[in-house]
Amino acid sequence: MLDQTDSYQTADGRTIGPVVMEMKNITLRFGGVEAIKDISFDIREGEIRAIIGPNGAGKSSMLNVISGFYVPQEGEVWYKGSRRPAMKPFQVARQGIARTFQNIALFEGMTVLDNVMTGRLTHMETGLFAQSLWKGKAEAEEIANREVAEKIIDFLEIQAIRKTPVARLPYGLKKRVELARALAAEPTILLLDEPMAGMNVEEKEDMSRFILDVNDEFGTTIALIEHDMGVVMDLSDRVVVMDYGKKIGDGTPDEVRNNQEVIDAYLGVAHD
Amino acid sequence: MAKPLTRADGPASVPALLHRNAEQFADAPAYREKEFGIWQSWTWSQTRDEVEALALGLLNLGVNEGDFIAIIGRNRPYLYWAMVAAEMVGAVPVPLYQDANAEEMAYVLDHCGARFVIVGDQEQVDKVIEVQEDLHQFEHLIYLDPRGLRKYDHTTLHQYSHVQDQGRAARDEFIKELEARQAKLDYDSTGVMLYTSGTTGKPKGVVLSNRNIIETAKSSSAFDGLRQTDDILAYLPMAWVGDFIFSVGQAMWTGFCTNCPESADTMHVDLREIGPTYYFAPPRVFETQLTNVMIRMEDAGRFKKWLFDHFMAHARKVGPDILDGRNVSQMDRFKYNLGEFFVYGPLKNTLGFSRVRVGYTAGEAIGPEIFDFYRSLGINLKQLYGQTEATVFITAQPDGEVRSDTVGVTCPGVELKIADNGEVFYRSPGVFVEYYKNPESTADTKDAEGWVATGDAGFIEEDTGHLRIIDRAKDVGQMANGSLFAPKYVENKLKFFPNILEAVVFGSGREQCTAFINIDLTAVGNWAERNNIGYASYQELAQHPQVLATVKSHVEEVNASVAQDEMLSGCQVHRFVVLHKELDADDGELTRTRKVRRRIIEDKYSDIINALYDGSDEVSTTTEVTYEDGRKGSISATLTICDAAVSVVAAKMAAQ
């Protein structure tokens, strides 16, 4: 077993660093419903970590715990070596955790560029007053932030829709814009909630490419939830499998694939 | 530094032109590229520094004189510099089509024996790596955009900027060598090698000397009065001779600025931002733009639509005359100015044509309606006729003598003659040196006196001296009854309808003509939307009865027009089929420059052609398709075969 602080090389030459986030015995209840039951796992620096499971397994709840949207009744979240107190999502975002949403949450009336710029919010220091005057420091800051936004637009190849209002875009592109906004925050950990949902094969291939490139180019740690098993197995370094709020498997794609409990959960078990 | 060899009347090589420009126009913009949302620009003196750094870096990597350096990627200043840098070190730049698949790329790389390949991004790197096993001479691969390439084995792979950095660092060591190599370049040394797109058979490498490039650039720039302050947008494939002459030849000669778009998708926005003064586009681009304008006008409000229709009608009436400087009444002129304010000006601005002083179209025939539309707006759109072997220019239309049915008069320095079979021959300073490693084809195309066969059939109008092209000479044939068969002539007429994207006419040696039709998905799709016609796929839309009826009416209209021409009246289309897939270069049905490959289509769709001639009403067929990444699949469909009415031949009517 690897230690918390160990790092190792993957077969394709990437370095996976020490544990950056650890979930310890998380339990989350909504009234009487236990969405997550006593789950522990960790996320290492630079890895692509997938959370999979059938519908209602508690995957999105788990992501919401990581992003600070839900506060678990039991258990601890450890981030960068210290225990994270209960926080509001914006405080979590400031710590370097950015996310995308399953059902896209962009500002529909704003252009792609403006949407991406909102991702820079956590990096802005000048106040509302200075920004409305747009002089001196505020101007310099906007220029610097615009540069970061433009690099991401270039990276995700959405230059052609830079000035297009988001409402006019097709679904697949909106997903990409959302990824761009999350990336604009230059996160330590990027949370992707079903990045491939509702896409056709070609769009899925594109998105997979972008996810791998982001991880490779920026060294961003990625935690993603996904339904499409093929995609997950190809993309991720390690996979957590959930079923009915419990963790039933954790390991490399190969280990998970051969895990009997996982097979049962996905394919069903014969009752005789 | 030692001056490269200069002739009495000017620099004798492309690098020499660069040095001249770097001194003469030092601070004027030479190249611009939109990146990260901003137009980045380089002056002529900066350009020289960049090119020189790359050239030194290439020397550092061990480029020998006479080596071939392949260049593959979308239009970017860095790749244009690579071409000049290659020539600086005495090597030969060979630009390749970036959308070529690995197989096609392997053929060209192997044929020229490229030791170095300079590419744009990971996609091209992957293609080269895929085929490198079979390339014996290949040694180093240089890439521009490092994205996704970090994990690749870098023993023979280099980043463009690193090559430049190493060149700068080793400047003292190599600068003498670089100067010596440049000094050897003269009018007869090879400037570039361009591969023809290969309508028939394998592509051929056309070797062009500095003489070809510079003489052509000089005379064509003078012909249209190009200036140092002009701007062009470089968006057509770098492997195409036209782009080379506009973006390198003429740009270097006159010192104007070459602007590269951010990506292929942003081309129209970038076009509008730059507002080029000198613009080139194949007819297809103008057609697409016109179709888009018309579609948007269909959706516009009633008042706007009325304004547009009213003033466009006026423009069609007097616009071309005003452009050609002919007499137009004061009232008409006033109304035209009003139209300029309300319609033409804003429209030209939207299209990015506000500043166009010289515009060209070539490569295919352009529909008269399309041509007139742009000219009536006051855009000086002209036609030219040329080919790779001529370093582009054979004929062009001078200002004031522009018509849609000719390709103009001979360019300065060009001589023309028409052979007995109607084939056009030319001789000029731009005539290519040879086909690389192919003396047979060279001898077939170019005779001892320097006359080159174009492969096109045409004639010179006696009263105006303008050249008119009928068709490819080898495609012109005879029908069973002995009448002339010129498929392109009919196909062009068909393609002038916005609904028809592509057409292929058959009939050589047969009793009657038949045709394949490709619908234009943009135009027909929009029509379907406006008329509440549902369709799930291209295939379904193509076979919709109302679409077939529309296409039928187009075919019949063309038949009526073909019947007017006594010589070609036999070419009326009797039966046609609307194809279930678009003809595609990836399937080998079109060349990369989108010209129809007849023989391949005849083989591939022989079952459909048989059905066209055996009188059946429909045909079931399965077609293999190749996807962009090289995978293959197949689509099957049942196609309806339609009959079209033919018109009575004009000559007979006249005789009655």
Sheet with B205-209, side-by-side order of all strands: B190-195, B205-209, B434-435
The distance of A46 to chain B (nearest Cα, Å) reads 15
On whether the CB atoms of residues B575 and B548 are closer than 8 A, the answer is: no
How close B144 comes to chain A (CA, Å)? 14
CATH at B138: 3.40.50.12780
Same domain, B522 and B394: no
Task: Give A239-248 pLDDT, tens digit per residue.
Answer: 999 888 889 8
Structure token pair of residue B110 = 């192997």
Q: Are A132 and A182 within one domain?
A: yes
Is residue A40 pLDDT above 50, yes or no?
yes
How many degrees, rounded to 5, is the angle at CA B62 between CA B60 and CA B65?
120
Q: Cα distance from B477 to chain A (closest Cα, Å)?
A: 44
Is the pLDDT score of B175 beyond 50? yes
- Quote the number of domains for chain B: 3
By Cβ distance, the residue of A113, A150, A160 closest to B266 is A160
> Which residue, of B209, B225, B245, is where some domain finishes?
B209
The per-residue pLDDT for B571 is 86
Region B210-235: what's the mean pLDDT?
A: 93
Indicate the pLDDT class of residue B654, thresholds 50, 70 and 90. Answer: very low
B324 domain-assigned: no
Residues A83 and A197 in one domain: yes
Domain membership of residue B344 (yes or no) is: no
* Residues A156, A173 share a domain: yes
Question: Is residue B419 within 8 angstroms of chain A, CB to CB?
Answer: no
Query: Does A154 contact B36 at a Cβ distance shorter than 8 Å?
Result: yes
Total domains in chain A come to 2
Over residues B632-641, the mean pLDDT reads 87
Q: Are the C-beta atoms of residues B634 and B621 closer than 8 Å to each other?
A: no
- Taking an 8 Å cut-off on Cβ atoms, the answer to whether A146 and B266 are in contact is no
Based on the fold, state whether residues B517 and B572 are members of the same structural domain: yes
| Confidence band for A269, pLDDT divided at 50, 70 and 90 | low
- In the stretch 83-102 of chain B, residues with CB closer than 8 A to chain A read none
Mean predicted lDDT score pLDDT of chain B: 89
Give the per-residue pLDDT at B2: 43
From CA A18, how far away is CA B199, in angstroms rounded?
58
Helix ranges (H only) for A198-269 are: 201-218, 229-235, 253-257, 260-267
Whether residues A215 and A267 fall in one domain: yes
Is B329 part of any domain?
no
Determine, yes or no, domain membership for B364: no
Q: Confidence band (pLDDT; 50, 70, 90) for B149? A: confident
Which of B425-429, B474-478, B602-606 is predicted least confidently? Answer: B474-478
Question: Among A14, A15, A114, A154, which would you mutate to test the B interface (most chain B Cβ atoms within 10 Å of its Cβ)?
Answer: A154
Residue finishing a domain among B440, B474, B508 = B474
Res. B5 pLDDT band, cuts 50 70 90: low
Distance from CA of B380 to the nearest CA of A (A): 28
The tokens describing B525, both together, are: 């799709």
Q: How far apart are CA A160 and CA B304, in angstroms?
A: 27
**Two tokens at A102?**
């399953």
For chain B, give the percent of residues with pLDDT over 70: 97
pLDDT at B73 over 90: yes
Alpha-carbon separation of residue B200 from A125, B196, B598, B601 (angstroms): 64, 10, 9, 12
Q: Is the pLDDT of residue A222 over 90?
A: yes
Mean pLDDT of the B458-467 span:
86
When pLDDT is averaged across residues B285-311 and rounded to a whole number, the result is 88
- Considering the domain architecture, whether residues B467 and B548 belong to the same structural domain is answered as no
B148 to chain A: nearest residue by CA? A213
A170 and A200 share one domain? no
Q: What are the DSSP E strand ranges found in B67-128?
A: 68-72, 92-96, 116-119
Instruction: State pTM to two decimals.
Output: 0.83
User: Around Cβ B540, how many Cβ atoms within 10 Å?
Assistant: 13
CATH number for the domain spanning A89: value is 3.40.50.300
Q: In three state form, how does the secondary structure of B613-625 look?
A: HHCCCEEEEEEEE
Q: Say whether both A128 and A53 belong to one domain.
A: no
Q: Which one is predicted more confidently, B60 or A131?
A: B60
In whole numbers, what is the pLDDT of chain A averaged over residues? Answer: 88
Q: Which residue has the higher pLDDT, B122 or A12?
A: B122
- The residue among A186, A220, A254 that closes a domain is A186
> Could you tell me the pLDDT band of residue B553, with boundaries at 50, 70 and 90?
very high
In this structure, the number of other CB atoms found within 10 A of the CB of residue B216 comes to: 29
Residues of B in contact with A147 (CB under 8 A): 36
Q: What angle do CA B207, B209, B212 make, to 5 degrees?
A: 105
| Residue pLDDT, tens place only, B475-532 | 887 788 878 788 888 888 888 888 898 999 998 888 889 999 999 988 899 889 888 9
> Given this model, what pLDDT does residue B371 score?
87
Of A167, A186, A205, which residue sits at a domain end?
A186
CATH number of the domain that residue B635 is part of: 3.30.300.30
Per-residue model confidence as pLDDT tens digits over A13-29: 788 889 999 999 999 99
Task: Check whether residue A27 and residue A81 sit in a common domain.
Answer: yes
Highest mean pLDDT of the ranges B166-175, B401-410, B558-567, B569-578: B166-175
pLDDT band with cut points at 50, 70 and 90 for residue B7: low
Give yes or no for residue B335 having a pLDDT over 90: yes
Asked if A150 and B37 come within 8 Å (Cβ–Cβ), the reply is yes
Domain that holds residue B186: 6-209
pLDDT band at A95, cuts 50/70/90?
Answer: confident
- Average pLDDT (B374-382) is 92
Whether residue B367 is contained in a domain is answered as no
The domain that contains B416 carries what CATH number? 2.30.38.10
Q: Is A147 on the interface with B (CB under 8 A)?
A: yes
Instruction: Answer yes or no: do B263 and A160 touch at CB < 8 A.
Output: yes
- Alpha-carbon span B280 to B271, nearest angstrom: 12
Give yes or no for B269 touching A (CB within 8 A): yes
Residue A171: domain span: 106-186
Pick the last residue of a domain from B449, B474, B499: B474
Do residue A142 and residue A200 come from a single domain?
no
Any A CB within 8 A of B302 CB: no
In a domain, B185, yes or no: yes
DSSP B567: G
User: Which residue on chain A is closest to B264 by alpha carbon?
Assistant: A160
Place B51 in a pLDDT band, splitting at 50, 70 and 90: very high
- For A159, the closest chain B residue by CA position comes to B266
Where do the H-state alpha helices sit in B377-520?
Answer: 439-445, 487-495
> pLDDT grade, residue A229 (50/70/90)?
confident
Domain end marker among A168, A186, A204: A186
Same domain for A182 and A61, yes or no, is no
Structure tokens at A189: 């950990």
CB within 8 Å: B265 and A159: yes
